[in-house]
Amino acid sequence: MLPPLNLPVSLLGVLMAVRPCFTAPSFTTFCGLVAGLAGQVRRRTVVGMLLGACLQHLWPHDRAHYSFSRARWQLDELGLVVARLVVDALIGHGAAMVIKDRLLDESDGTIQYVCGNVECGHFAIKDRKGNLRCPVCENTSKIYPVQTSYAFKLLLDELLSLGVVMRLQLEDMR
d(CA 102, CA 104): 6
Mean pLDDT of 63-68: 77
User: What percentage of the chain has pLDDT greater than the value 70?
Assistant: 92
Which DSSP category does 167 fall into? Answer: -
The string of pLDDT tens digits covering residues 69-97 is 777 777 788 888 888 888 787 777 677 77
Q: Mean pLDDT score of the chain, rounded to an integer?
A: 79
Number of Cβ within 10 Å of residue 49's Cβ equals 23
Q: Is 169 helix (H, G, I), strand (E, B) or coil?
A: coil
Domains of the chain: 9-74 (no CATH), 107-173 (3.90.1800.10)
Q: Is 165 helix (H, G, I), strand (E, B) or coil?
A: coil
Question: 1 or 15: which carries more pLDDT confidence?
Answer: 15
The model's confidence at residue 174, banded by pLDDT at 50, 70 and 90, is low
On whether the CB atoms of residues 46 and 55 are closer than 8 A, the answer is no
pTM across the whole model: 0.47
Q: What is the pLDDT of residue 4?
A: 64
